Structure 1
Amino acid sequence: MDNESINYNRYRWNRMLLNGFWSILVITVVLECLYLTITEVPTGQFIRAYMLKPSAFQFTTLLIAETGLRVLRGKYQDYILILTSAVLAFIIVFIHNSINYLLLALFLPVMVSIFYFQNKKLLFALVNTLSSLFLLYWTNDFIHQDITLIGLTTISVMFCVFSLVAWGILSRGRELLNHLKSYFESNQQLLVKTIWMDKLAKTDALTDLYNHITFHEYFERLIDQHEQNGLPLQLAIVDIDNFKHVNDTYGHRAGDAVLKSVADLIRAKVSANDFVARYGGEEFAVLFTDKASESAFVAVEQIREEIAKVVHEAFGGKPVTVSIGYAEYTSGEGKEHFFNRVDTALYKAKSTGKNRTIVALDPHQLENQSQLA
């Protein structure tokens, strides 16, 4: 998680805690109003001593905390909130010193510190709790008289024991967080590995183009799209001329360099919606999906001409040429028949001089030829 996210979450939780402290003030005022109806203390004295004075102290404390939350950044906000909870608890217990069980309110800072999952903040909270307890003992006459030193020691030990339990909760929480983090990182690594393996399964390692298997998967889908939605679809099969001579004369390393160069040139000449694959050996297949037949043919010719212009250092500074078979899909033709038409056109280009593009006869012309034969 980045620092910006951490700071945002810290401020959000601190804001929630501070809102909770405001709620304590409101609840305290409501309870005092209820006590006002049953107390034997004179009304004026009760309002001054138990309502106005403590509410003013609490309100001032919360205003200071609000200012600190807006002015301070990072971990200092956390310490301000812990200290605020200690002051609020001290005021409540000091005013209502006759209610012994309210001493438990002094444990509020420790409870607040649990939100931060940090031992040093838990320790800071415990110090605040014990400091409030001893300050109350020495400054509040009623508490000083009501609680013996043994009782004070017992309460202090109880607070320490409760804090030890809180420390155990924090340790267990951090252990779970580390486990969750480890689990998340493992899943992330597995996802990356899966994506990488999927890419390796679908692409040719040398040229980084799609491979033979992936070509046929997309080929079938695109034909389905054509049959259902009339998607324009053309196929070009590109074969490097005399490639065996390149390997035999200059070695396979030179042949690999030529293959990569030709692959990069083809990829550079097609659009984002077109599909390029290394079909096998020195053959490449290009599926055009967003062009009219004339535009696709122009792109094919540009590919052929551009390849013929490039010289290859690995090939002794000579260029290579390609022969291409090309055709547009005819509705109802089927994948196998379409591919064979283009492959036949490629064979014709290779056998009639190479470095040329032959447009395959459409199915009707092939049918007429077979009838004449």
Structure 2
Amino acid sequence: MKDFVNSSDASIHRQTKWIKRFLETYWVVIALHFAAQLYAYLYLPYEIEAGIFYYKVLLGPTLLMGGSVAAAQLVDRFAAKYSFISLFAAGTFVSMVIIHLNMDIRIIGAVMLLPIMASAIFFRLDLTLYTAVLQIVAFCIMYNWDSRFKAFLGPFDLIAIPIFILVGTLVAGIIIVNGRELLYDLETTMTAKQSLMAENATMLKISKTDALTGLFNHMSFHEYYEKALEYGELGVPFHLALIDIDNFKGINDKFGHRTGDLVLSRVACTIQENIPSTDIATRYGGEEFAILLFEQTFEEALCLMEQVRTAFSETRHAELGGLAVTVSIGLKSYERGTTKERLFEDTDALLYTAKRSGKNKVVTPLQTVDEGSAVL
């Protein structure tokens, strides 16, 4: 028998889940049939001896149906590639037993149609056709080997029931085709939506970051700055640091703008490597950078800025003839009630104090840290 399992891992997982659910449903059907037969015997007119009823109608058929379902579960566990075959073979057998015990032309077609309708949930035409063939084979077996079943049917039934099964198969096929189209449309829509989301995320990232340095840009700084001020008003401390590359115009004039861009990129990398991920580093404009520092005391922020400054002054650049690039830094903490303009202006003033007083230093409202180094 051809292996019906030929799909993606996600599809296989879904199918495996539904196979187990159907097998569990078969047990529910058997239990309900057992209860219905017992109730009918005890409380409805039922002209049959107790021994025959319990052996041939209740226990025997229940054990046969349960055995077929248990066998299907074993196949599903130890030979999963044959799970579909065993699943609907067991379902067909259960249908045959129920029809044999409840000979009524009104339920024959409906019971035999149930496995076909159930197979449609997997959206596979080959599986539905296989299940339909099983029902036709089961009908032929019962007609040729079950004398009661054969005697119960009339000539019209021999035509009507197979046609009913075929029509049901056709309906299931239409459901499958339409379901596949809907699934394809849904997947196409989801793919397009994911692509659009990825494009939007890329565009958002581009709009928020500086193309040369990869840091947040001027606009992003003000967005985060506003948020920081809101948290600051709630008592969350933060600090603002402004960094400016010393003698950057001289670098551009002497070594060219390409070398200047390289220096800017390296400065940005040094900043990112030395600050925690909770801090916000931005290229404010030109050779100036702004950093918002969170979750640390002023002393820790000062130590961190000294670490950044030292890292710059100790890095030599081959493109600059082995010279180091230094930076001047202004650092100030936010105090509740301070406006965004006042904090920025005060920090900017500290930065220019550092520039005017010799460069390559960190200046704060509390202290000035002087360091000498080879400067350009």
> What does residue 83 of structure 2 align with?
77
- How far did residue 288 of structure 1 move? 1.9
Q: Do the aligned residues in 2 keep the contact of 1:85 with 1:112 (CA within 8 Å)?
A: no
> What does residue 66 of structure 2 align with?
59
Q: Which runs of 5+ in 2 are unaligned?
A: 1-6, 368-376
Aligned pair partner of 1:68 in 75, 87, 91:
75
> What does residue 14 of structure 1 align with?
19
Q: Do the aligned residues in 2 keep the contact of 1:233 with 1:287 (CA within 8 Å)?
A: yes
> What does residue 33 of structure 2 align with?
28
* Secondary structure of residue in 2 paired with 1:207: coil
> What does residue 117 of structure 2 align with?
111
Change in 2 beyond 3 A, CA 1:346/1:162: same
RMSD (CA atoms): 2.3
- Within a 5 Å distance, the mapping from 1:28-177 to structure 2 comes to 28-36=33-41, 37-73=44-80, 75-96=81-102, 98-104=103-109, 105-147=111-153, 151-177=157-183
**Which whole-Å deviations, capped at 9, do the CAs of 1:201-243 have from their partners, x for residues lacking one?**
21111111111111122222222322321x3332221111121
1: CA distance between counterparts of 2:39 and 2:344?
Answer: 90
Is 1:279 the counterpart of 2:284? The answer is: yes
Change in 2 beyond 3 A, CA 1:52/1:340: closer
TM-score, structure 2 normalization = 0.87
* Secondary structure of residue in 2 paired with 1:38: coil
- How far did residue 48 of structure 1 move? 3.1
Change in 2 beyond 3 A, CA 1:127/1:348: same
Q: Do the aligned residues in 2 keep the contact of 1:83 with 1:109 (CA within 8 Å)?
A: no
2: CA distance between counterparts of 1:63 and 1:358?
Answer: 81
1: CA distance between counterparts of 2:299 and 2:149?
Answer: 98
2: CA distance between counterparts of 1:339 and 1:320?
Answer: 25
* Secondary structure of residue in 2 paired with 1:122: helix
Q: Do the aligned residues in 2 keep the contact of 1:258 with 1:314 (CA within 8 Å)?
A: no
> What does residue 331 of structure 1 align with?
336
Change in 2 beyond 3 A, CA 1:359/1:32: closer
> What does residue 373 of structure 2 align with?
none
**Which whole-Å deviations, capped at 9, do the CAs of 1:244-280 have from their partners, x for residues lacking one?**
2222232222111110100111111112222211010
- How far did residue 281 of structure 1 move? 0.5
Change in 2 beyond 3 A, CA 1:53/1:333: closer
2: CA distance between counterparts of 1:245 and 1:297?
Answer: 28
> What does residue 290 of structure 1 align with?
295
Is 1:309 the counterpart of 2:332? The answer is: no
Change in 2 beyond 3 A, CA 1:259/1:38: same
Larger displacement relative to structure 2 (120-129 or 146-155): 146-155
TM-score, structure 1 normalization = 0.88
1: CA distance between counterparts of 2:32 and 2:338?
Answer: 80
Q: Do the aligned residues in 2 keep the contact of 1:239 with 1:283 (CA within 8 Å)?
A: yes
- How far did residue 183 of structure 1 move? 1.7
Larger displacement relative to structure 2 (7-16 or 22-31): 7-16
2: CA distance between counterparts of 1:51 and 1:299?
Answer: 83
> What does residue 214 of structure 2 align with?
208
Q: Percent identity?
A: 32
Question: For residue 260 of structure 2, what is the amino acid of its counterpart?
Answer: G
2: CA distance between counterparts of 1:100 and 1:332?
Answer: 87
Change in 2 beyond 3 A, CA 1:55/1:291: closer
Q: Do the aligned residues in 2 keep the contact of 1:257 with 1:314 (CA within 8 Å)?
A: no
Q: Which runs of 5+ in 1 are unaligned?
A: 363-373
Question: For residue 114 of structure 1, what is the amino acid of its counterpart?
Answer: A
- How far did residue 93 of structure 1 move? 2.0
* Secondary structure of residue in 2 paired with 1:271: coil
Change in 2 beyond 3 A, CA 1:243/1:147: same
* Secondary structure of residue in 1 paired with 2:14: helix
Is 1:256 the counterpart of 2:256? The answer is: no
Larger displacement relative to structure 2 (213-222 or 8-17): 8-17
- How far did residue 150 of structure 1 move? 6.0
- How far did residue 341 of structure 1 move? 1.6
1: CA distance between counterparts of 2:104 and 2:362?
Answer: 99
Q: Do the aligned residues in 2 keep the contact of 1:21 with 1:85 (CA within 8 Å)?
A: yes
Larger displacement relative to structure 2 (179-188 or 151-160): 151-160
> What does residue 197 of structure 1 align with?
203
Question: For residue 356 of structure 2, what is the amino acid of its counterpart?
Answer: S
Alignment coverage as a number of residue pairs = 358
